[in-house]
Homo-oligomer: A and B are copies of this chain.
Amino acid sequence: MKDAVVITVGNEVLKGRTVNTNASFIGNFLTYQGYRVKLGLTVMDDLEDISWAFKTAMDRGDVIVSSGGLGPTFDDMTVEGFAKAIGSDNKLNQDALAMIEEKYKNIEITPERKKMAMMPEVCKPIRNPVGTAPGLLCSVGGKKVVILPGVPMEMQALLESMRDSLAIENSCYFDESI
């Protein structure tokens, strides 16, 4: 049995301003992929808290899926938090930059927009079919870490597009618990 951990990043979720439907969607998706969803973590838009969440999740799960904090604004710091958790730097990923340039077309790529192409070397960008920020699929010590935006439509489309990457071989869904 492979264990999954779901991370949700965002003050608005903790304050109850937003109901955490992203966690339900991801939990449901992972369950039907054959994972046991063992833990859900919701943390603030805070670098230390996000870093703690990824460390805790990697201690307790085989696959980690996060949503939220992936955009261009100052409080979007999920990738930086993940990099801190694994003791890595964020570097400009050329494939991600190309994806972002394609979305913005002739609009200037400001440093804030470029931020969405920065990631640790263990990550590869996944094209966002709905919005701008690419999703990230990362591999750390045999564990998979998937980092998704918080906008539900974008998160859902990206997760669907990663179905094969997250498949467990010879797995079928069997529910023995209530």
Interface residues of A (CB under 8 A from B): 6, 8, 11-21, 23-29, 31, 37-45, 49, 56, 75, 177-178
CB nearest neighbor in B for A75: B178
Nearest CB of chain B from residue A27's CB, rounded to whole Å: 4
A56 to B52, alpha carbons, bound, how many Å?
Answer: 11
Kindly list chain B residues whose C-beta atoms are within 8 Å of the C-beta of A38. 14, 43-44, 49
With contacts A13-B40, A39-B41, A75-B178 known, what are 9 further pairs, Cβ within 8 A? A8-B40, A11-B178, A14-B37, A15-B28, A16-B26, A16-B37, A38-B49, A42-B42, A75-B177
Q: How many copies does the complex hold?
A: 2
CB nearest neighbor in B for A39: B43
Known interface pairs A16-B25, A26-B16, A75-B178. Does A41 touch B40 (Cβ–Cβ under 8 Å)?
yes
**Contact across chains for B16 and A177 when beta carbons are under 8 A apart:** no
Kindly list chain B residues whose C-beta atoms are within 8 Å of the C-beta of A12. 178
CB nearest neighbor in B for A175: B15
Kindly list chain B residues whose C-beta atoms are within 8 Å of the C-beta of A49. 38-39
**Contact across chains for B24 and A20 when beta carbons are under 8 A apart:** yes
Q: 18 A-B Cβ contacts within 8 A?
A: A12-B178, A13-B24, A13-B40, A14-B27, A14-B38, A15-B27, A15-B28, A15-B37, A16-B23, A16-B26, A16-B29, A16-B31, A16-B37, A18-B24, A20-B40, A40-B43, A42-B42, A45-B178
